[in-house]
Chain A
Amino acid sequence: MFSVMGGTMKAPDFDYLRPATLDAAIALLASSDGDAMPLAGGQSLMPMMNFRVASPSALIDLADLAELRGISRDGSSIRIGAMTRYAELAASAEVMAALPLFGMALPHIAHDAIRNRGTLGGTIALGDPAAEMPALALALGAKIELAGPDGTRVIDADEFYLGYYETARAPDELIVAIHYPVALSDHRFGFHELTQRHGDYALAGAVVARTAQGHRVAFFGVADRPLRLPALEQALNTNPDVQSALHHLSAIAFTGDVKASAATRQRLAAVALTRALQGMTQ
């Protein structure tokens, strides 16, 4: 994930605060001038702090906020509290039934010990370009519910990811829950990612949701943020042969780094998409 090596591997000093309510947590964030960070599961934030990529003045631990917990279904939508851990998602029959993509993606998110602590809201908020859940949110057309000093707002996942670890969440806002449309019987889903080792961050990954409205395809691990390509989706709607759509991948500004060049990533994105489409749910 990060290439900053050498030197200390301990987090810098910070204030640890553990508010009991959502309002108290937001007040703490608002009074910190943007220097405090919310602590959800900590499975990405702790490494970032140990590498000193992140050095917040304070951590606001969200562990005690009942407002950020719970899974509830309201007709055609399922609402998942931000502090729901990956292991809880995998253990929820309701989530597995409503969101088949979760069952496909969760085994690829790190390892059991990480999934026991990591949270949905944490990964959605961090916006790691190689993480699975932000891409799932895009492919599924999820909505993100945020709470801040001025109340709550709901934003489309499509408008949430702005750049490299950059999201539409203001520093004094917290993700309360994520809302997903429940899968209908005629919806089909595909997921594939390519990694160096099982559980590693993806070098390239593709998520496909096919509904009566057509394809939604999200990529992760390929660029500075998770993204969709409307032209590629339109091409798949017109012609289901993936080969005829792959040239649209060149619209992506592919990441090139020590693990894979931009050209390799473009090739891997094509492979991931092809395999995701081949493995669509029946």
Chain B
Amino acid sequence: MTRTVAIDLTVNGERITASVPSRLNLVDFLRNDLGLTGSHVGCEHGVCGACTLTVDGVAVRGCLMLAAQANGCTVTTVEGLSDQGLSTALQAAFTKRNALQCGFCTPGMLASALAYVNAGGTDDRDAIRAHISGNYCRCTGYQAVVEAICDTIKEART
């Protein structure tokens, strides 16, 4: 049946083959089938950004992509961020700046921020705020998040 789809993809460097229901979205597959619960599920309609992860090098919404569509793709979740360019520096800056409180938005926030810093984004605060405007945080008021991203960009330059 076409309601079950065979997929073959790479997740955090590991090749995965699976048979998934057609309706299963990527973030549910990662969390429930692979146990990678770092990516969070918030609004499930692409607004909150909690499920943001990296597919083939770009940030996407894990709730707006089917697992079936990820066939042949390379997926990176927060669990696999360690070798993604500036990710170590970014995570350290989030810690130093206290750029999280409850942590629910953090995996998605890191994925979005990483796309920005790895693409050579500037330390212009308005540009950073515009970039992370698709990631909701209900704790920090964003100021510390912006500071952490700024720090990462400035440190990478020195």
The A-B contact count (CB < 8 A) is 100
| Assembled-state Cα–Cα distance A117/B111 (Å) | 15
CB distance A16 to B3 under 8 Å?
yes
Count the B residues whose beta carbon is within 8 Å of the partner chain — how many?
33
Within 8 A of B (CB), among A1-42: 1-2, 9-18, 39, 42
Contact A10 B23, CB 8 Å, known A42-B69, A110-B134, A113-B49: yes
CB distance B64 to A198 under 8 Å?
no
Which of A13, A16, A18 has its CB near the most chain B CB atoms (within 10 A)? A16
Query: Which candidate, B52-60, B78-86, B145-153, is the interface stretch facing chain A?
Result: B52-60
CB distance B112 to A112 under 8 Å?
yes
Residues of A within 8 A of B111 (CB): 113
The answer to whether A238 has its CB under 8 Å from any CB of chain B is no
Contact A116 B60, CB 8 Å, known A14-B3, A16-B68, A58-B2: yes
Contact A113 B134, CB 8 Å, known A15-B22, A16-B22, A50-B44: yes
| Assembled-state Cα–Cα distance A87/B58 (Å) | 10
CB distance A198 to B65 under 8 Å?
no
Which of B25, B46, B60, B61 has its CB near the most chain A CB atoms (within 10 A)? B46
The answer to whether B93 has its CB under 8 Å from any CB of chain A is no
Residues of A within 8 A of B59 (CB): 112-113, 116
The answer to whether A107 has its CB under 8 Å from any CB of chain B is yes
The answer to whether B96 has its CB under 8 Å from any CB of chain A is no
CB distance B46 to A47 under 8 Å?
yes
Residues of A within 8 A of B61 (CB): 43, 113-114, 117
The answer to whether B63 has its CB under 8 Å from any CB of chain A is yes
Residues of B within 8 A of A46 (CB): 25, 45-46, 63-66
25 contacts between A and B (CB under 8 A): A9-B45, A13-B3, A13-B22, A14-B22, A14-B23, A15-B1, A15-B2, A16-B5, A39-B69, A42-B65, A42-B69, A43-B61, A46-B63, A47-B64, A51-B45, A58-B2, A107-B130, A110-B46, A110-B134, A111-B134, A112-B134, A114-B61, A117-B64, A117-B65, A199-B134
Q: List chain A positions with a Cβ less than 8 A from chain B.
A: 1-2, 9-18, 39, 42-43, 46-47, 50-51, 58-59, 61, 63, 87, 107, 110-114, 116-117, 197-199
